[in-house]
């Protein structure tokens, strides 16, 4: 039987999926079981509330809510649960995501939502942030997260060396 999901990814629309993709990649890489749903705060309010109200009971520990435009989904999700909610704003209108960003980051006091970067970077960071939360009580996951950071740092050093090597090559002025 598949492992019970620890994280839920809720998108306001299937059109938000490209922003969710990097989160799925992170969860697969870290071996974190997740659930993914399309459920809207305004198009399917009852469905969204029902899913979120049962989330903790169903074993979920973190909820990621991805939405564009007025983007009230993360706030509505947070209103229905005591679980930590991570919001990811999507550029889905002529306002290029400023609408969703302000909507998610400007939660009134009392019901917090952690707001990530806009778009796919935010999707990836939401998953990493969820991993960090889960890692507080999972030493194996904490170790994987430390390895991830080490590999990232090694990648930067490699990039730096790559640029130095290119510039010191005899024909570097040609490119």
Taking the complex as a whole, the smallest distance from the CB of residue 42 to ligand RP5 amounts, in Å, to: 7
Candidates 23, 26, 55, 69; binder of ligand RP5 (CB under 6 A) is 69
> 23 or 67, CB closer to ligand RP5?
67
For residue 90, the SS3 value is strand
DSSP state of 153: H
Cα–Cα distance for residue pair 114/88, rounded to 1 Å: 9
End-to-end CA distance of the chain: 55
Per CB under 6 A, the segment of 10-18, 74-82, 104-112, 160-168 that binds ligand RP5 is 10-18
Which residues lie closer than 8 Å to 51 by C-beta, 6 or more apart? Answer: 8, 10, 37, 39
Which residue has tokens 């979120």?
52
**Does position 160 bind ligand RP5 by CB under 6 A?**
no
From the centroid of its chain, how far is CA 41? 18
Looking only at residues 72 through 131 of this chain, which bind ligand RP5 when binding is defined by CB under 6 A? 90, 92
- Window of 65-73, 76-84, 103-111, 116-124 that interacts with ligand RP5 by CB under 6 A: 65-73
Tell me which residues touch ligand RP5 (CB under 6 A): 12-13, 15-16, 40, 67-69, 90, 92
């Amino acid at each position: 039987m598949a492992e019970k999901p620890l994280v839920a990814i809720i998108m306001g629309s299937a059109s938000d999926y490209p922003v969710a993709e990097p989160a799925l990649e992170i969860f697969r890489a870290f071996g974190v079981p997740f659930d993914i749903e399309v459920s809207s705060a305004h198009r399917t309010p009852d469905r969204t509330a029902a899913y979120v109200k049962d989330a903790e009971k169903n074993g979920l520990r973190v909820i990621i809510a991805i939405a564009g435009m007025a983007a009230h989904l993360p706030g509505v999700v947070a209103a229905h649960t005591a679980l930590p909610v991570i919001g990811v704003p999507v550029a889905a209108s002529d306002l290029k995501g400023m609408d969703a960003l302000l909507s998610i980051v400007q939660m009134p006091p009392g019901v917090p939502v952690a707001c990530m970067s806009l778009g796919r970077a935010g999707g990836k960071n939401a998953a990493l942030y969820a991993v960090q939360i889960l890692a507080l009580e999972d030493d194996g996951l904490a170790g994987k997260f430390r390895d991830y950071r080490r590999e990232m740092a090694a990648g930067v050093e490699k990039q730096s060396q790559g640029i130095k090597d290119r510039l010191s090559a005899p024909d570097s002025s040609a490119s």
